[in-house]
Amino acid sequence: MASLRCCVFVLHGYLYDMVKLPPSLHGWFDARGWQMHPHQAEMLASAQAPALLLIAPTGGGKTLAGFLPTLAELGATPEPGLHTLYVSPLKALAADIKRNLRAPIEEAGLAIRVEDRTGDTSAHTKKRQRADPPHILLTTPESLALLVSYPDAARTFAGLKRVVVDEIHALAESKRGDQLMLALARLQTLCPGLRRVGLSATVDDPDAIARLLACHPDPCPVVTADPGPDPDISMLVTDTAPPWSGGGAAYSIPAVLDLVQQHKTTLIFHNTRAQAEIFFRNLWLANHDNLPIGIHHGSLDRDQRERVEAAMVRGELRAVVCTGSLDLGIDWGDVDLVIQIGAPKNVKRLVQRIGRANHRYNAPSKAVLVPANRFEVVECVAALEAVRAHDLDGEPRGPGPRDVLCQHILIAACAGPFAADDLYVEMTAAGPYAGLDRAGFDACLEFCATGGYALRAYDRWQRLRQRPDGMWELRDPRSAARIRQNIGTIQDSDKLKVKWRGRGASLGEIEEGFAASLTPGDTFLIGGQIVRYEGLREMVVEVTRDPGRKPKIATFSGTKFATSTQLSHRILRLFQQTDWPELPHHTADWLQLQRQVSRLPQNDRLLIETFPRDGRQQMVAYGFAGRNAQQTLGLLLTKRMEEMGLAPMGFVATDYATLIWGLDAVTNPAPLFDLAALEAGLDQWLAGNAVMKRTFRASATIAGLIERNMGGQRKTGRQATMSSDILYDTLLKYDPDHLMMQVTREEAMRGLVDFDRIREMAQRVGGRIDHVALDRVTPLAAPLFLEHGRIPVNGSAEERLLEEEVTRLMSESGLAQIETAPSPSPLAAKPPL
């Protein structure tokens, strides 16, 4: 969609000459036989609207629709100065647009300058751009935030007329969108007549995106394009049943190769990078015809990614194994099949991925879903139904997070002294902060100024001060450089570069946590090759070639999605059928067996199974609340079990259930699931938990409390984790109402902790709990025992096990016999403290 090349306009007879495009551009379009889509014409006709949102499917020529008014206004010989700012979530997309805009501009002989500005742009060019901006500047939210942080921002943006936000649906799901809207509010102050346009893929709630984009209190109208024909979508069914657990889908390799063989170009999507790597390797092991197949994901080195992209555009590849890195808009040439490996988790994302196949607007896209395990068969069938029913999912986002607000206050201070009243008014014009009250703003300002109560002792956190005239400014002007280094809201886990030993060629990146788990000699997969870990030097992972050995699995994870609420509900509804003609027999039999020995989970009831296994007592709660919420449920339940003396030892969570094991059996689970008690537990115990600490770390980094970049030298992830964990513990103990703690609790309701989904589950279940006590594992529970990511719980079970071990060691070593009578301890008689 990003490309002009792929905008094949089919609406003959549409009067596009009513539009005042430069004649030479007209000619250029005519020569290629292109005509305008109705929604593109509508965008051009409404070019003067202060805010406008376009919803169009993949391949609908969205980006061109966004740029046509700019080309029309600039004309053949434009005045110097910045006219249009284009913001996209991907650097690569900005580069792609630049390429694609240049062709018509140059060939139609227009004197329009188009440049991009991202993290990859050279310092020299960046400096020049601030003094002498092009007509069209293509950038990312982070680069824009950086631009508005300079004192000369007013000069850089002087005369700016339009902002085009591409793929706004992707930005709307994260803090990057919140940050962008704050930056736009800033631009609106600098350029009062600024008009904004958002370009979005098909979404469940266009109005929510329009509210995000609007310059409040003014509205933002929505233009909706024809959604095009329904996709041709099916699930792969093979003779061999998928395995019980895991996400590899290795069983499907021969069938997938067949599909690749039968199509021109196939995209093979995966949910995580590790899975993509493993699948890619397995594909090549079975690729006897040597079909040209590449791999593309966010951990690979940029050069390598660009090579794959270029080969793809030239049509040299038959397939690309990829992850979310290809979810968004780069033009991929003639893709005629999308294969999704693993359950799609989210119908909206699935639909957007399917749209990657067949970029022609009026042809149906073709897609095949490949369940990676038995449970995912059910999930895939539910997703197919949802796509056919046009039932997209979406979780509403709450008000804009305050950590982003804090970062923006610091950014504003970098640009120059500001009045609190003005900044407050400016920020409340941004969609996510339209409802921000003054007290909330003042708390953020206070935090930026002093670091908050517990941290006042340190000069480092005294960032702002108020001048006698009431204006706020940086206490130390030199701190602006540090603040700029930490701009951004993307919380990638910290990555280390991987290089060949001695040659220095970069292979990609792995997560620091994974690197820490390696010892020299270990092997792992990256870029489809098995490499041997040799050592870590100056934050670079050095590897050598290691042909033919079995790799230690690459655990760098990419994003782990939780199954959406809507999809979970569909699965639960599917369970209630008496039989399942739409499911392959192996899966239908499995569900039938579960129904015989136990029950199938229901939408309005909570199924709890208990049984002994592995010398421990097991409990399974089928909450169907998504991976994150099920994990939180595991944390909260083990906390309650600990209080009740049930000695829990650990748990593991999937999208549909939580499995908890411990020393004692749970005989009456109902009281464990009391929502009020769970919520109270969230405050007390979850407070000390690693997930909360991770949430805290993310927010504290965004708000500038923890710095990832310190004077050019990056802190290692472990250092940052260590200090943020201790900071968190300390604030929890001595200043629990600190702004960052409030933000962490708010974040906990969604995201990683996702307590909202637990609440949703509790309301749906309404106290109707079915406890089935069995003497062995059930069919539905069995896959849980194969799940990765088991989380240990340290509590009384540890004391009991330790005692057991001490007794064993004492008797084994004979210490128990030879130990002389201990001297009487004067403490023994004292009452316990």
Mutual angle of helices 141-148 and 175-190, in 10-degree steps? 40
Q: In angstroms, what CA-CA distances link 471 with 147, 426, 462, 721?
A: 22, 15, 16, 35
- Residue number, 285 or 809, with CB nearest to another protein: 809
Smallest distance from another protein to CB 434, Å: 34
Q: Which stretch of DSSP H or E encloses residue 55?
A: strand 51-55
Smallest distance from another protein to CB 476, Å: 15
Q: Hey, is 196 helix, strand or coil? A: strand
Smallest distance from another protein to CB 46, Å: 51
79 CB contacts (<8 Å, ≥6 apart)? 159
Which of 476, 467, 488 has the alpha carbon at shortest distance from 411? 488
Q: In angstroms, what CA-CA distances link 727 with 60, 154, 487, 724, 794?
A: 49, 38, 21, 5, 21
- Residue number, 11 or 710, with CB nearest to another protein: 710
> Strand order of the sheet with strand 658-662?
769-773, 606-613, 616-622, 658-662, 648-653, 791-792
Tokens 């068969």 belong to residue: 377
Smallest distance from another protein to CB 753, Å: 24
- Residue number, 211 or 790, with CB nearest to another protein: 790
Please tell me what DSSP assigns to residue 250: G
Smallest distance from another protein to CB 727, Å: 7
Which of 181, 159, 189 has the alpha carbon at shortest distance from 73? 159
Which of 590, 641, 589, 593 has the alpha carbon at shortest distance from 618? 641
Single-letter amino acid code for the residue at 815: L
Smallest distance from another protein to CB 731, Å: 7
671 CB contacts (<8 Å, ≥6 apart)? 677
Smallest distance from another protein to CB 537, Å: 22
Please tell me what DSSP assigns to residue 418: B
Strands 195-200 and 162-165: parallel
478 CB contacts (<8 Å, ≥6 apart)? none
Residue 51 has φ and ψ, to the nearest 5°, of -150, 140
- Residue number, 169 or 482, with CB nearest to another protein: 482
Q: Is the peptide bond before 134 cis (omega within 30 degrees of 0)?
A: no
- Residue number, 519 or 668, with CB nearest to another protein: 519
- Residue number, 111 or 809, with CB nearest to another protein: 809
CA dihedral 763, 768, 774, 777 (to 10 degrees): -20
Smallest distance from another protein to CB 813, Å: 5
Smallest distance from another protein to CB 726, Å: 5
Which of 309, 325, 306, 305 has the alpha carbon at shortest distance from 317? 309
- Residue number, 10 or 802, with CB nearest to another protein: 802
- Residue number, 45 or 815, with CB nearest to another protein: 815
**Other CB atoms within 10 A of residue 832 CB:** 3
Distance CA 740, CA 403 (A): 8
- Residue number, 442 or 804, with CB nearest to another protein: 804
Smallest distance from another protein to CB 452, Å: 10
Smallest distance from another protein to CB 734, Å: 6
- Residue number, 492 or 805, with CB nearest to another protein: 805
Smallest distance from another protein to CB 281, Å: 30
- Residue number, 254 or 688, with CB nearest to another protein: 688
- Residue number, 42 or 707, with CB nearest to another protein: 707
- Residue number, 272 or 796, with CB nearest to another protein: 796
- Residue number, 690 or 802, with CB nearest to another protein: 802
Smallest distance from another protein to CB 460, Å: 6
Contact 225, 9 (CB under 8 A): no
240 CB contacts (<8 Å, ≥6 apart)? 251
Which residue(s) pair with 713 in the sheet?
Answer: 710
The radius of gyration of the chain's CA atoms, rounded to the nearest angstrom, is: 29
Q: In angstroms, what CA-CA distances link 572 with 382, 394, 495, 555, 606?
A: 9, 18, 38, 31, 11
Under the phi-then-psi rule, with left for phi > 0, alpha for psi from -120 to 50, and beta for the rest, what region is 630?
A: alpha
Q: Hey, is 613 helix, strand or coil? A: strand
Smallest distance from another protein to CB 826, Å: 5
Single-letter amino acid code for the residue at 65: A
- Residue number, 24 or 462, with CB nearest to another protein: 462
Which spans of this chain sit near another protein (rule: CB under 8 A)?
454-455, 457-458, 460-461, 615, 649, 710, 719, 722-723, 726-727, 730-731, 733-734, 792, 798-799, 801-806, 809-810, 813, 815, 819-820, 822-823, 825-828, 830, 832-833
Smallest distance from another protein to CB 232, Å: 49
Contact 231, 242 (CB under 8 A): no
